[in-house]
Every structure is written in C-alpha cells, then in structure tokens.
Amino acid sequence: MTARSLGPLALAAVLGACNVAPSAHDGCHADLHAEDGCPAAALVVTSDFVSTQVALTRLDGKTLCGSYVSTARAETTSVDFALSGDIVLPSSRPPSGRAVLIDRYGTNVVSLLEPSSGKILGQLAIGTGFESNPQDYLEIDERLALVSRWGQNPAPGHEAFDAGSDVLVIDTRALRIEGRIALPVQDELPPRPAGLVRVGDEAVVTLQRASTDIRRMGDGMLVGIELATRRVTWTLTLSGLENCGPLALAPDGAVGAVACTGFIDRTGAGSHSEASAIVVLDLTTTPPAELRRLPAASIAGGLLQNNLEFYASRRVLAKTQTALDGAANNRVLAVNLEAEDANAAESLLEARPSEDGAGQGVVFGGMLCSPGCGDVCLVADADRRVLERWTIDGETLVPSGALALTGTVGLPPRDLGGL
C-alpha cells in the first residue's frame, strides 16, 4: 500500500518507529532543462515503509539518478533529521524548482533539496512537540510555503504553533515557522487538512475531518485561504462524501476534480461505497460550484483512492481502493469526467493477486501526467516494481511500456512528483 494512499487512517499501524541512518546523495549531477511550465524531471519515492530511496528520472521514465537521496547511505555533510520510511512528495510541483520531501508520521520534517544533485539544502521540523503528521507542501512565493498538518495535539499550549490540525506558514529561506492558519471545526471533528493546491490567489485545502480516535469521519470539505491575508474566506462541504484527497486541476484551470474514498479500516477496506465518488467542480466561481458527481460504485465497482491526475482537458487517471487480502485486485482507471457513469471509466491496468490468490491491497501509488510537456503518464507500480507508462494521444492513453528504475536497491516505487 502506498504511504499517500494508505493515509493517516491506517498508516500508524504499518509504520511505528522507522527512523534509520542519516540520508545522503550519491553525487548525482543531473543536467535538468525544461520548457516554461513543464517539469524538468520526475522524482520517484521507493520504500518498504522502513527504508526509503528517492530516484530522479526523465519524464519518459529513463533513470537519471538511482539514489538521488536515501536512508541507507552515510551522509557526507551532517543533517539534522534522518529520513524515515514514510516520505511523500508535494501534490503540486514547487515553482522554485527545489525538490521537497515531506517526512510524515514519526519524523514530522520538511526537507529541501538542490534539484540537480539531491543534496539537502535544509530541513525544518514541524512537529512542535507532537505527532503533526504533515501531508502536503505548497509554495506561495519565493520565500513562503504552506504545510498542512493532519495530526491534532491532545495537549497544546507548551510550544508555539503546537495546536495541530492546521496549516503552517513557513519561511523556506530562514527555515522557520512564521505563522499558523486555523481551520474551521464542525461537529467537534478536527479539520484534518490534507491536500493543498493553488487556484489563482487562493490556496484550496482539503479537510478530511476525522474524529480524535480516528473511528469516524465527517463530510469532506474544501476550504479557500486567501494568500494575501492568509485567512479562510470560504468553505465548501462535499455532502455525503468522506476521506477526500487534493483538488486536481484541469490543464485549462477552469475545472477541478476531487476523489473521495470513504472511511476505510486498517486493511484498506471500506464499509459504505456511497461515500466514495469523484466530484467535478467549476473553478471559475468562488467558492467552486459542484458540476456533477461520478459515484465510485458506478464507475469502479467499488471504492476509489482519493487522488487524481488530469491527462487531458476533462479526463483523469484514477485508482481503485482495494483491501489487503481482499477479493479485488488494485486497478488504474482512465475516467471521462463528462461521460455517463456506466461508460465513464476504462480499466488500464490491474495488479496481480498474491501467491495465495488474495488481493495485495493498494499497490498503485503516485501518478504523474504531463500533457503538452512530453505527453506521458507515469504510475508507480509497487506490484511489478516498475513505472507504468502511457503516451497521451489527444484524449487517449496508449501503453508505451513499463520502465524499471536503474541504480536502485530494488525497493518498490510508491510516489511520483514533478521537479
């Protein structure tokens, strides 16, 4: 199961204390060039949830540096915090061009890396005395960034910025916390912010709203934060849907989409599929207006993972949410957001069952599509330990061969992000 897809609901059961030796880069010297608005390369997080190795690849999947940074090597220059086995990448490509690693449960650190070498430029602890479990990172200018913290501090008041379930404002130059943005609380449920995405002059935050004991969830919400004032200016409740992921933006920016999984247990199984769907939103209004819903049961025959990736104007990659040792195998879907439910989804890839014939749970992880920038889609496949690859041909995805990462220690790929 991927760290991002497994999510805070089940992650603590898998991880525990997983810090290992300090990380290092291996002398990577990648020559990175990109057209304006296009990623120069892709980062691939490989992990067994104890050790992590990050690779750097071209958009066509060719490996540039197998060990861009990892938990396994001795660091030539000291770092303050060892990398763990629970690392994810920002859901939006940082405009600074820096590589950013979000070290979540048990570590609570954001690391900034020099893009062509993987050398750690600086690290910032954002736990402030508790398990803050950071989820996403969004740069808002050349100096400031936002970090969403899912964890809630049961006993705040001992350190600055230690309440949790909030969005921090951090100074990426001075490597310090500059402020905190409190988020709305409804029905006494902590906000539990997850995805962060910029839309114009606002940041849109997804609230997952889980109880303190993480045994129930409320309706998902989107919240708008005005970047100039850093204040919440609107909220949008996704009624009846739970455990929603970051807002994905269409290439034209006029439409967005959010996938919701519904509440899942520690095996990744859900009990009510009606809380899982894709919501299509009109982003030309404030707050966004809901255009339509595609129920997960209709387009996938079960639950969906809560992240999406646009590959054409109204088409997205999606993934099913499948339980460990369950009856179903994980699948990658191409979804037409404008089609009728029964015809909206095409199955592109299915995971293999385990040796005993049961499902392996979530094995398809991070996704990266680059329409207009090489026209490829990559998906991290922890089952086959490769990057699955498709070529974008208008509104069609054409299989173009799986790619194995070279120069790595063979950990399964879990997450993907543009650099």
Residue 298 three-state SS? helix
Decide if pLDDT at 335 tops 90.
Answer: yes
Query: Structural domains in the chain?
Result: 3-418 (2.130.10.10)
Decide if pLDDT at 7 tops 80.
Answer: no
Full-model pTM: 0.93
Exposed / middle / buried, residue 394 (Cβ in 10 Å: 0-12, 13-18, 19+): exposed
Count of all residues that appear for the chain in the document: 419
**Dist CA 236 CA 256 (whole Å):** 14
**Dist CA 68 CA 87 (whole Å):** 14
Residue 294 three-state SS? strand
Tokens of 17: 């204390």
Residue pointed to by tokens 């500059």: 178
Report CA Rg, the chain: 20
pLDDT of residue 34: 83
Average pLDDT of the chain, as a whole number: 92
Cβ pair 278, 299 in contact under 8 A: yes
pLDDT of residue 23: 43
Residue type, 209: R
pLDDT single digits (tens) 353-371: 999 999 999 999 999 999 9
Of the candidates 411, 401, 388, the residue with the CA atom closest to the CA atom of residue 45: 411
- Mean pLDDT within 133-145: 97
**Dist CA 88 CA 215 (whole Å):** 24
**Dist CA 405 CA 57 (whole Å):** 8
- Mean pLDDT within 298-325: 97
Decide if pLDDT at 152 tops 50.
Answer: yes
Strands (E), 129-261: 134-139, 144-152, 164-171, 176-181, 193-199, 202-207, 220-226, 231-238, 248-249, 255-260
**Dist CA 309 CA 307 (whole Å):** 7
Helical H segments across 187-316, by residue range = 296-300
User: Please, which residues have CB within 8 angstroms of residue 139's CB and are 6 or more apart in sequence?
Assistant: 94, 95, 96, 145, 172
Decide if pLDDT at 74 tops 50.
Answer: no
Which of 149-163, 228-242, 305-319, 333-347 is least confident? 333-347
pLDDT of residue 81: 87
pLDDT of residue 336: 97
Of the candidates 260, 261, 362, 378, the residue with the CA atom closest to the CA atom of residue 311: 378
Q: Within 13 Å, how many C-alpha atoms sit on residue 150's CB side?
A: 28
Decide if pLDDT at 19 tops 50.
Answer: no
